[in-house]
């Protein structure tokens, strides 16, 4: 099938590798995994993911509704700040509703008390390579700090959420942190039914000690008598997709610059936010290029790469690891053509799931 670039290409075979590891962790530890929709919400592959995961978790009414309607199983709802309209709708379908503050719990408890109610805790520890993503940064608004205040709310709660990691791929660090959580909050956890350890745990990374990780989770669950939940986002979809682009021009300003028919600002925004380079499989060739997007932003640059063959107009460049925080953040900056969404199914067939048009562009505006 000939598909016009740019497009996101999701490989179900690569996705399945992550899902099987998630299933293995569940079997070894008893910990359930709910997909973090803030990272990945492309519901065209939910039929596959549904077979290996326990449900979804969200950051807004729309995400929660998407999880309920398109994924099924458990629907966990969390938001930094609910409106009354949001919480009234969420209460109709969510299994677990997690509040970010005690003031929100007070305001809306009577609306949600038919569901399992949780509270997010800020334990004052975290693992993050970026201050921007550090949930325990100074003045953080994410979660309740006051342990005594949490203890007073126990009659209204069935669980707690500790989301304090970002791309933590170190099992030793995870273990130390979990021990600290147990020591600080163990007496509280023993009075509850469940605990979510949030996302940001990179346990599907190649070579990660899954068995050791699972033992730690199982021991924690047994020690405090709670059902453990994980909220994998990147761990569920890492390495499963590419952004496929085509060179539309090559210019020279001290170095050769290849301009592709996509945009970092519009299609891989996290690279710009965190000042990261995109990934391409080919890195060892003798032809070096800066690869840039076609928006007007001067810093719309995917990175500097080496290719085996000289690039020319029409050459294809595939950016790897393009599933997480890409499709959920894509935007219409500069009116640059939105990448289509394409899936290579397990049987090898290629399906064009969604193609965006000018009508999509104008309907996004007013």
pLDDT at 134: 83
What are 27-65's pLDDT values in tens digits? 999 999 999 999 999 999 999 999 999 999 999 999 999
pLDDT at 235: 96
Tokens of 308: 């085996």
Contact 21, 282 (CB under 8 A): no
Pick the CATH number of 241-322+330-363 from 3.40.50.80, 2.70.210.12, 2.40.37.10, 3.40.50.720: 2.40.37.10
Contact 55, 75 (CB under 8 A): yes
Contact 120, 161 (CB under 8 A): yes
pLDDT at 203: 95
Report pTM.
Answer: 0.95
CA distances to 53, 102, 184 from 149, rounded to whole Å, are: 33, 8, 14
pLDDT at 135: 86
The whole-angstrom separation of Cα 366 and Cα 362 is 7
Contact 280, 42 (CB under 8 A): no
What are 288-322's pLDDT values in tens digits? 999 999 999 999 999 999 999 999 999 999 999 99
Q: Supply the CATH classification number for the domain 13-237.
A: 3.20.20.10
Q: Give the start-end residues of each E strand in the chain.
A: 7-11, 32-36, 55-57, 74-79, 96-99, 116-120, 159-161, 194-196, 227-230, 241-253, 255-260, 287-292, 301-307, 316-320, 340-344, 350-354
pLDDT in tens, the chain (366 residues): 789 999 999 999 999 999 999 999 999 999 999 999 999 999 999 999 999 999 999 999 999 999 999 999 999 999 999 999 999 999 999 999 999 999 999 999 999 999 999 999 999 988 888 888 888 899 999 999 999 999 999 999 999 999 998 888 899 999 999 999 999 999 999 999 999 999 999 999 999 999 999 999 999 999 999 999 999 999 999 999 999 999 999 999 999 999 999 999 999 999 999 999 999 987 788 999 999 999 999 999 999 999 999 999 999 999 999 999 999 999 999 999 999 999 999 999 999 999 999 999 999 998
Contact 202, 19 (CB under 8 A): no
DSSP assignment letter at 4: P
pLDDT at 128: 84
The whole-angstrom separation of Cα 196 and Cα 274 is 26
Burial class (CB in 10 A: 0-12, 13-18, 19+), 199: buried
The whole-angstrom separation of Cα 53 and Cα 35 is 7
pLDDT at 172: 94
Contact 27, 19 (CB under 8 A): no
Residues 6+ apart with CB under 8 A from 359: none
Show me where the domains of the chain are located: 13-237, 241-322+330-363
């Amino acid at each position: 099938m000939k598909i016009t670039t740019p497009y996101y290409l999701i490989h179900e075979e690569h996705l399945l590798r992550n899902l099987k590891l998630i299933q293995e962790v569940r079997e070894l530890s008893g910990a359930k995994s709910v997909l973090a929709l803030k990272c990945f919400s492309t519901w065209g592959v939910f039929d596959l993911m549904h077979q290996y995961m326990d449900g979804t978790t969200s950051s807004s009414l729309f995400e929660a509704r998407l999880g309920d309607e398109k994924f099924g199983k458990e629907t966990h709802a969390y938001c930094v700040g609910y409106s009354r309209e949001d919480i009234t709708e969420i209460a109709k379908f969510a299994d677990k509703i997690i509040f970010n503050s005690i003031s929100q719990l007070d305001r809306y408890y009577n609306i949600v008390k038919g569901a399992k109610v949780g509270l997010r805790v800020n334990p004052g520890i975290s693992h993050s390579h970026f201050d921007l993503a550090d949930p325990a940064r100074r003045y953080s608004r994410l979660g309740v700090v006051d342990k005594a205040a949490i203890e007073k709310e126990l009659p209204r709660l069935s669980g707690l959420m500790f989301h304090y990691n970002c791309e933590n791929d170190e099992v030793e660090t995870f273990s130390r942190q979990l021990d600290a959580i147990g020591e600080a909050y163990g007496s509280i956890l023993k009075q509850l039914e469940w605990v979510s350890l949030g996302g940001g745990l990179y346990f599907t990374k190649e070579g990660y000690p899954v068995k050791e990780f699972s033992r730690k989770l199982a021991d924690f669950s047994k020690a405090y008598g709670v059902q453990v939940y994980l909220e994998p986002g990147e761990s569920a979809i890492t390495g499963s997709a590419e952004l496929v682009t085509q060179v539309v021009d090559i210019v020279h300003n001290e170095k050769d610059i290849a301009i592709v028919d996509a945009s970092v600002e519009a299609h891989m925004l996290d690279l710009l936010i965190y000042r990261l380079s995109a990934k391409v499989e080919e890195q060892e060739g003798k032809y070096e290029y800066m690869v840039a997007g076609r928006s007007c932003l001067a810093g719309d640059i995917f990175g500097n790469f080496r290719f085996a063959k000289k690039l020319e107009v029409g050459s294809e460049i595939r950016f790897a690891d393009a599933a997480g925080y890409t499709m959920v953040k894509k935007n219409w900056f500069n009116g640059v053509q939105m990448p289509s969404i394409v899936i290579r199914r397990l049987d090898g067939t290629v399906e064009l799931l969604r193609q965006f048009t000018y009508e999509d562009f104008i309907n996004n505006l007013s």
